[in-house]
Amino acid sequence: MSHDTLVAIAKTFGLFWMMGFFIVVVILAFRPSRRAAYDHAARSILPQADQDKGP
């Protein structure tokens, strides 16, 4: 196996792995069932007085 062959395999495998990882992250990030947890995490760093005022 030559160096060029290994580079081609690594580039191809890396591309598909990163595309698959991106798709999984996007699916997990935009799941409607996780919206409440993400909203809670987004607001958890705000002081308590700001949370009572509302939008």
Q: Which pTM was predicted?
A: 0.57
| pLDDT digit string, tens, across residues 1-55 | 899 999 999 999 999 999 999 999 999 989 989 889 888 888 888 776 655 555 5
pLDDT of residue 11: 92
Instruction: For the chain, give percent helix, strand, coil, nearest 5.
Output: 80, 0, 20
Backbone angles phi, psi at 45, to 5 degrees: -90, -5
pLDDT of residue 10: 92
Q: How far apart are CA 30 and CA 24, in angstroms?
A: 10
pLDDT of residue 18: 95
pLDDT of residue 54: 57
Please say whether the beta carbons of 4 and 10 come within 8 A: no
